[in-house]
Every structure is written in structure tokens, then in C-alpha cells.
Amino acid sequence: MQNTVTYEQPLSERIRAFLRLEYLFRQAGFFLRGTSPFNSQAALNSILEVQNLLGRNDVKTEVLKELERHTGNLARLEQTPGVDRGRLTEILDELDVLIDRLYSNSQQLGHELKQNEFLSSIRQRSAIPGGTCDFDLPGYHHWLRRPSEERISDLTGWLASFEVLQKAIVIILQLIRESATPRRTLAEQGFYQQSMEANNACQLVRVGLPPSADVFPEISGGKHRITIRFMQQPSLAERPVPLQEDVEFLLCCCAI
């Protein structure tokens, strides 16, 4: 949805975890390009959050299930008239490579980072507010004073531990987002509700608004329906309030 501000709501725990990982990978990549110690701190915090998320969920299994599901669905399109077979073959080959790489690695994703004592000390202290101060972790601050090229090289190597996962997340979410065409929709008095098709479970709801719109959506949903309530934030010191005016927006209910 180009030229819009897009809000997304996952409708399953699997997609919720994937979106969080995508966010953390993007954040790490952004701060990795910076040269200041604060950039390196922020990039490392994102990498450690990825590791923590993987420790709470069996993400590898969930990613494999989703890759195999997409492979099966897309393979059935090969004989469909009008399908770009070249592009379809390219996507299927990419999915197969990712599946093979994940199966070939018998260890947990990012396993090598768990064995890194330097990172383990930082991860343990990160749960404490201000716990990574220089008096708590002098070795960490010694590393932060190293030349930026050395820090970026270290961070790039640590992030590479999740390379196959990052690529899998990117292609899975890309396929899901491209599975539906945005349609113009009206929320009367700021409220919209839609029943869902039982035989085509929506995985991700996407709402697009013009950049100039001074409203935002609160989205909730499940197997049977989605609900969107548009809100305004007159003051950051107060709770947002429901909008009482009609709102035109773009809606995508993505399922593949």
C-alpha cells in the first residue's frame, strides 16, 4: 500500500512472532549502519532481543511449517493459466533452499551466541534498568570504545547467526502481504466490522491511511470477524478517544 501509513494486526501467534522478529531485524540493520557507540548499543540490544524471543518460542518449527505451507500452496499454481511460471519457479526454489538450510541445522537458531560469554553478561544485565552502565560492565564499555569498524564487524557477525531466519521471515511476510489487493473501505462514525470467511483464514489485517490523517486504528480480530475503531489523540497526556466521523481507508485481509 504505497503512499499510505500502514497499520498491521496479526491474527495468529505465529504471525505475531514473525512481525516482532521483522521489526527487530530492521532495527538492528538500521543501527548497524551508525558509527557511534550508542548506535552499536542499540544494534546489540536488538540482536539480544531476537535471541530472547527465540528462547521463548519454537520459532524454527513455526517458520518451517509456514515455508512448507507456502510451498504447497504455490506449487498448485504451476498449471494455472496466466501465472508467471518463471517468477513462481524462482520463489519455489528460494523456499526450498531456506527449508533445506533450516533442516540441515540441528541446533537452535543463534546457538553460537548463547555460548558467547561476553554477550551472555550483557544479556543478563540488560533486564535491569540501567544495568549496562560502565561500572556494571566495564568490559562492555571497553568494547564500545573500540574503532567503529571493529564494532560493526562484530555486530555483523553476530547478526549473521540469524541470516537464514531473517531471509525466511522476509519472504513469508512478503508473500502474505502480497496475497490480497487493498480495497477502499468506509468506517462509519469511525467504526468498521467485517465477518471473515470460514474457509479462508485471514492471517494479517492491514489498514492504510493517508500520511496527513490525524487518526489511527485500533484493530482486533479472530477467526470469525475483525473490528477496527479509529481513534484520535488530542493530548499525549490523556487517553485516545474514539472518532465520531466517517473515515475512508484501505483494507487488506491477507491470507495465503
Domain parsing of the chain, residue ranges? 13-175, 181-254
Name the CATH topology of 13-175: YacF-like (1.10.3900)
Compute how many other C-beta atoms are within 10 angstroms of the C-beta atom of residue 84: 10
Q: Which residue has the higher pLDDT, 125 or 1?
A: 125
- Looking at every residue in the chain, the average pLDDT score rounds to 92
Residue 207 — very low, low, confident or very high, per pLDDT cuts 50/70/90? Answer: very high
Per-residue pLDDT at 147: 97
| Euclidean distance between CA atoms 113 and 132, whole angstroms | 18
Tell me which CATH code domain 181-254 carries.
2.60.440.10
Q: Taking residues 58-87, what's their average pLDDT?
A: 86
What pTM did the predictor assign? 0.92
pLDDT digits (tens, 9 = 90+) for 122-139: 999 988 999 999 999 999
Compute how many other C-beta atoms are within 10 angstroms of the C-beta atom of residue 134: 12
Q: Taking residues 166-176, what's their average pLDDT?
A: 95
Per-residue pLDDT at 217: 97
Residue 211 — very low, low, confident or very high, per pLDDT cuts 50/70/90? Answer: very high
| Euclidean distance between CA atoms 124 and 122, whole angstroms | 5
Q: Taking residues 64-88, what's their average pLDDT?
A: 85
Answer whether residue 85 shows pLDDT above 90. Answer: no
Per-residue pLDDT at 138: 95
- Asked whether the beta carbons of 200 and 255 are under 8 A apart, the reply is yes
Q: Which residue has the higher pLDDT, 199 or 61?
A: 61
